Amino acid sequence: MSIERTREQVHEALADRLLPAAPRADVDALLDYMEDVQIAQGEAILTAGQANAALWYLAAGRLQVEVPTAAGPLVVAEILPNHWVGEVGLLDGGEATATVRVSEPSRIFRIDRAALDSLRERAPDAALALVHTLSIDLVDRIRGSNEFLRRELGRDEPGDWHAVALRWVLAGNELGP
């Protein structure tokens, strides 16, 4: 996919997949508060252990999620277009739990906490639709993680976390359509 998606294409993706119940005006309002950025391959948009106060929407390109280990960074997931990253840090104000790096040239829309606060004041329905979508995404990830761990722990002796972690990585953890 080219990183040259138009604003209308991004609007359609947000409206169709991410904010399907939101009126067009709410999606427009959200896009008005988001910064459109193109990020070069290899750059990190989030770094594990550092404060994060932004939400990133991947419009085009590809990201990889790395977690720090004693042996160095371990890639645990790939993020495909039409997904969010940084939602936990945006919602709770905490540090990033992983490093998210651009694995190919990407076009990303970013909204920081100040812009989200302004959106909440000026277009509360748009902000509510966004938070609702993020909540659903987080619940889906938690359920998927729980199911994976339930299956994997059922096959292992208690405490065999290395085997579980290895299967977690080998499972791909791809976030995609």
What type of residue sits at position 176?
Answer: G
Which of residues 80 and 10 earns the better pLDDT score?
Answer: 80
Q: In angstroms, rounded to a whole number, what is the distance separating the alpha carbons of residues 101 and 135? A: 23
Query: Could you give the 3-state DSSP secondary structure of residue 93?
Result: coil
For the chain, the average pLDDT equals 82
pTM: 0.77
Q: Is the dihedral of CA 161, 164, 169, 170 positive or negative?
A: positive
pLDDT score of 50: 92
Q: In angstroms, rounded to a whole number, what is the distance separating the alpha carbons of residues 41 and 103? A: 5
Give the pLDDT confidence of 91-142 residue by residue, as tens digits: 888 888 889 999 998 989 999 999 999 999 998 988 888 888 888 888 888 8
Q: ∠89-98-155 over CA atoms, to 5°?
A: 115
> Which residues make beta-bridge pairs with 112?
54
User: What is the set of domains in the chain, with CATH numbers?
Assistant: 7-170 (2.60.120.10)
